[in-house]
Amino acid sequence: MAAAEEHDSSTETLQTAAEEEEAKTFKDLGVTDVLCEACDQLGWAKPTKIQIEAIPLALQGRDIIGLAETGSGKTGAFALPILNALLQTPQRLFALVLTPTRELAFQISEQFEALGSSIGVQCAVIVGGIDSMSQSLALAKKPHIVIATPGRLIDHLENTKGFNLRALKYLVMDEADRILNMDFETEVDKILKVIPRDRKTFLFSATMTKKVQKLQRAALKNPVKCAVSSKYQTVEKLQQYYLFIPSKFKDTYLVYILNELAGNSFMIFCSTCNNTQRTALLLRNLGFTAIPLHGQMSQSKRLGSLNKFKAKARSILLATDVASRGLDIPHVDVVVNFDIPTHSKDYIHRVGRTARAGRSGKAITFVTQYDVELFQRIEHLIGKKLPVFPTQDEEVMMLTERVNEAQRFARMELREHGEKKKRKREDAGDDDDTEGAIGVRNKVAGGKMKKRKGR
């Protein structure tokens, strides 16, 4: 990571390089002892670059725009100053953290609770897909920190009696560019209207877009910009490749790569929920332990999928872009862009799921005849020409027959699944995750699954 600490001339920065060199521990940054101990227990030996830049300024009470690549410790950069301030002036409903996705909200909540466990910090996660009533009860207890997706928060502000954010001291927008890209603009405007003007605001984002600049003008007072990487970049230890293949052989090449790199854990990104589900069924029919994660699954299934993958009970997670931001799963070895992302910036976030916290990782992007322009945009954005991932084409073609058969079964299962869902609308059973993928797989020639009974 070239430490290109570039700062806008319009926004001042208060920390010299010399001071930065000296500040090696959280204590040096001004974090109180209790929280330094919590960092030790979490295994955070020393602050990351964004933390070194942002924490001292946040402790001085400045508004902050934090630009840092994914996996760089952004959550710690806003959680520590907030908990520090909460210790000095304890109050309920002290801080609000807005995030674009539900999974990210749960992850931020875990970090707040881990850091604040010794001081009894209470958090409430307010996201869609979960029963409103239990959330209302959690809010009635007036937690210190509320972590929410914008839509559901508005819902509670309008409908939950006695809940308001008039005493709020801190507002954080994490992955601000994505919050605005998912068109939460009207919700964010509404939220800004009902919280105090006299508050501290932290805006964190991996990429600075026009919408984020607009939001910065609306929500921040005299902010300081902490940029750890001024140009879009991917981590140095990440090996990035591409594969140019005819679109009808994408499935076959995917199976080839999973076989070639067997023993690694994979995240495979697809562009639609349907394709995610189809590919998961296809891989299961061939004996891979694959699990899907997409927006059409219920929230409990999504968390279930994620936890199985985190616990290494499954080695392949197939996901839509719902999982491309902020999720910290330490052991992802390989990211495969099965469908190329339409927005080049999403590429940075997707491949940021691997090579986290100093480890190495691989990213392989499938480029079909229809994706050439999108791929060139990605190369232009990251300023690199990617090498081709080496494959043995004749070996790939040997897999075609088995893959075609598995494709046929996957389509049948998807159809059956769709019909079942229609019949069982009111009785939404446990078939959302298709974990039990309807006993078809045993019929697939040479499927490895037969041996694997006790799953």
Place of tokens 């939404």: 428
Residue 16 pLDDT greater than 50, yes or no: no
Structural domains present in the chain: 17-227 (3.40.50.300), 238-451 (3.40.50.300)
Per-residue pLDDT at 253: 95
> For 161-180, what is the mean pLDDT?
89
CA-CA-CA-CA torsion for 407, 409, 412, 414, nearest 10 degrees?
-70
Q: Is 400 exposed, middle or buried (0-12, 13-18, 19+ CB in 10 A)?
A: middle
Residue 169 pLDDT greater than 70, yes or no: yes
Residue type, 417: H
Report the Cα–Cα distance between both ends of the chain, in Å, rounded: 41
For 350-395, the pLDDT digits (tens) are: 887 776 655 678 899 999 999 999 999 888 888 888 999 999 888 9
What whole-number distance in Å separates Cα of residue 103 and Cα of residue 295? 11
For 324-336, the pLDDT digits (tens) are: 665 667 678 899 9
What whole-number distance in Å separates Cα of residue 134 and Cα of residue 137? 5
Per-residue pLDDT at 351: 83
What's the maximum distance between 2 C-alpha atoms anywhere in the chain? 68
Least confident of 3-12, 160-169, 336-345, 397-406: 3-12
Per-residue pLDDT at 312: 83
Residue 440 pLDDT greater than 80, yes or no: no
Greater pLDDT, 180 or 275: 275
> For 173-187, what is the mean pLDDT?
81
The pLDDT confidence band at residue 138, using thresholds 50, 70 and 90, is: very high
Task: Give every CB contact of residue 276 below 8 A, 6+ residues apart in sequence.
Answer: 270, 292, 293, 294, 318, 319, 320
Nearest to 65 by CA among 222, 224, 178: 224
Per-residue pLDDT at 73: 80
The pLDDT confidence band at residue 105, using thresholds 50, 70 and 90, is: very high
Average per-residue pLDDT in the chain? 81
Place of tokens 């996201």: 127
